[in-house]
Amino acid sequence: MNNTETMQKEKKRVAISSVIAALFLTGSKLVVGLMTGSLGLISEALHSGLDLIAAGITYLTVRVSDKPADKSHHYGHGKLENLSAFAQTILLLVTCI
């Protein structure tokens, strides 16, 4: 296995770890918030939900962006990472609003 393949596997592992952590945090905050009636925890769960969406976008982007060039993507799929960063920026703006 060459260095590029190792880096691709590491990126995927880190991305899926982020999704799992965000899922756990969101679920935990929501369950405890609903059980205690804490609006603060429920709002934190919603905030963590946005983090979960961002982590999901990152995971999907990592999977797709490492694909090699093909007939319709002559230079590969790496530019998708820029689009992903833009989508996550929009999520941050939504959070601020």
- Lowest mean pLDDT of 24-33, 61-70, 72-81, 88-97, name the range: 72-81
pLDDT value, residue 85: 86
Domain residue ranges of the chain, discontinuous segments joined by + = 3-96
Separation between Cα atoms, residue 68 and residue 16, nearest integer Å = 21
Torsion angles phi and psi, residue 33, rounded to 5: -60, -40
Listed in sequence order, the residues at least 6 apart from 15 whose beta carbon sits closer than 8 Å to its beta carbon are 55, 58, 59, 62, 63
For 26-90, the three-class secondary structure string (H helix, E strand, C coil) is: HHHHHHHHHHHCCHHHHHHHHHHHHHHHHHHHHHHHHHHHCCCCCCCCCCCCCCHHHHHHHHHHH
| 77: confidence class by pLDDT, cuts 50, 70, 90 | low
- pTM higher than 0.95: no
Mean pLDDT for the stretch of residues 84-94: 87
